[in-house]
Structure 1
Amino acid sequence: MRQQLLDRFLRYVQFDTQSNAANGNCPSTPGQMELAKTLQQELLAMGLDKVSLDEHGYLFARLPANTSTKVSSIGFIAHMDTAMDASGANVKPQIIDDYDGGVIELGNNQEQLDPQQYPELARLAGQTLITTDGTTLLGADNKAGIAEIITAMEHLLKHPEIPHGDICIGFTPDEEIGRGAHLFDVEKFGAHWAYTIDGGELGELEFENFNASSAVVTCHGVSVHPGSAKNKLVNSMNIGAKFQALMPEHPTPETTEGYEGFYHLAAITPSIATTELLYILRDFDEQAMAAKKAFMHAKVNELNEQLTRGSVSIEITDSYFNMKEKVEPHMHIIEIAEQAMTNLDVQPKIKPIRGGTDGAQLSFKGLPCPNVFTGGYNFHGIHEYASLDQMEKAVEVIVEICRLTAIREAK
């Protein structure tokens, strides 16, 4: 299992599947469909049932039940795209066997993984780590999840003595740009509940996530040739700077943790005539999120009152919501995953996701869908890495969830 898991993962990360928010198509990049077609052939060769790939890059398959007793269909989901924050092309993984706990040099470009910067490395001594070469991201988010799900299905096929109901698997496009669940056909998928295999360190089990919104603040100026601009030109970039000066230094991502929400200036599109400031707003509590939206509207009004020339406007759009309210009525889903981890000597770490997954949107589409660890770390950057030992545990947890569901419902 271990070597097959590693081989799969190393194959999958060679596909450049970085999504593109500027492209409205689904999938937003051709590499995602290339990976989907490769996975489709792999699933067919394994002998899985109902393998289907639609024109938008959603790949579904099913492992039929092997029990005579009626058992709930459960699902496992991972996404094929990688984040836009660093390149996903020409990934050159490094394999560190029996990690010694020290500094890991990433290629020849002076990048490194230093335990002083990443203290969690100290807990991984003795494990096999897979890193980048310091020039790209790795793609463990979420190709580790894909490799783990397929390896678990292969294990169940090879071990028919392990009881399970129908197991539905789904691989989605464009999760990193918030669209992964938009065209997901829950009815076609066929599961009563599912788990995204999209978490981080060993033991993570998450069924709470941020409520998420985006705010576009548009600063309106007037462009005039600078040689004849007196009393005519209004530089929208200056207006943008004034608006950002009205925003709080706390809470922001770099000053918050746990259940704390934040404001985050994520991007600026500048010009003389028009400057756009893109903010993301995050909070676990709906009332606190409403207060953040009201605060931003108030700051727009405040700046408009100060300006003698030019103006500011704002548009706020909701992205996804906290899945907690949709999962809590079905807490047996969490109990099964907890028990699976405990049975495998993995300490469950139930904590909120300071972000979102496909599972958040899917939960609101009627498919309760908490999140389980993959063994990956430092997602979205060139310091991303994964523990092969923890990836192997993720495979075992998937198999055990399938077994426990069958046993629980047979009683």
Structure 2
Amino acid sequence: MTTSKSDTVDSASPTVTQWPAIVNVLFAGIAVALHVGKATIALPELQREFGRSLESLSWIISAFPFIGVFGGIAAGLLVRRWGDRLLLSLGLVIVSLASFAGAMQHVFAGLIVTRVVEGIGFVIVVVAAPTVLTRVVAPQKRNLVFSIWSTFMPAGIALSLFFGPHFAGWQQSWVAGGALTLLAALLLPLTTPRGTITLSSAPAIKLRQALLSIMRARQPLLLALIFTTYNLQFFAVMAFLPIFLMQRIGLTLAAAGGVSAAVIAVNILGNLAAGVLLSRGLRARTLLAVVSTFMGLAGAGVFLSITPNGLLVPLCLLFSGIGGMLPATILAATPAAAPEPTLIPLSLGLVMQGIYLGQVIGPVVLSALVAYAGWTAPSVLVLSAAVLGSALALSLTTKAR
């Protein structure tokens, strides 16, 4: 099949929704999200094995996405040049091999290095996957499919938190995650057609010119910053939720993992609800502003010392369920916010850098606040991020819907 410049534009607006490809892309997303949750549930065991403080161990979580703060746009450029399916496969293989290597580490520094490599693969996947979806989903199904896609993170983390305590050691969790990620990569060529947005088919445009075009559009940058405030809240609560529940109300590791898995799984309901609301015409800016505010109030309540222990889990469920509407809305709005179809990968890359920034800052800042001021201090962080997110959402135009 030959390609042309017109093919590049057409690929962003397919007439038929290709469900086998969508299922495989979702499986790929869940598989890489397992590698986020596996570190969270393994923290107590890693603390015993390596004898590190909570602040030091937070880098096992934050080192994973750290590369994404700087690599999102670079991943978007590679997707645009080499094709989304090729880059999605490459990202999955990188995550898989790094996870296998991590399972063999007995030195803390070595484990951190493998987590950084996993982060490289992860950022490639989360930029390439939505680009694949953009060209295999008909416009009328986009809000629905992107709300489904946004469930990959809570689904993968929840699975890790639920099954993690049942492995005979954290190394088995690393190996299992690597195997599932490799399976997703092997299935991809069987279900997903090759993309047309490549160096030979895309209109010639320099990186600097492309970035200036995206920045002038403002909407992708605003969406990226809103994603930062969301993930700052989400990972400030979720990254240490098992340890928090163990210390605050005395749950066992298995019980804390089960509760944390349920809390994160509720996030999926919010993802799907956002798709329904957007499909019925609710404006993205309105949904983002309202949801960010209520998410912040619920999250702050989790850490307040005056909150009764009996309300902690319900507040966590409310926080996660409401918050799930944010990523689905942002991801659905990004393709429309891109200045032109060929800049969708770079726009997605910028938005992913936003989510990574919050994911890096959240656990590190929270662990520092807890170390110096106790578990009540993070309430200020969560509420501040919520207010900022609401203000940014109200700055969006109607185009980013």
TM-score tier, shorter chain, comes to under 0.3
Asked which structure has the greater RCO (Cα within 8 Å, sep 6+), the reply is 2
Q: TM-score, normalised by structure 2?
A: 0.27
Q: Which structure is higher in helix share?
A: 2
Q: Which one has a larger percent strand, Structure 1 or Structure 2?
A: 1
Q: TM (normalized to structure 1)?
A: 0.26
Larger Rg: 1
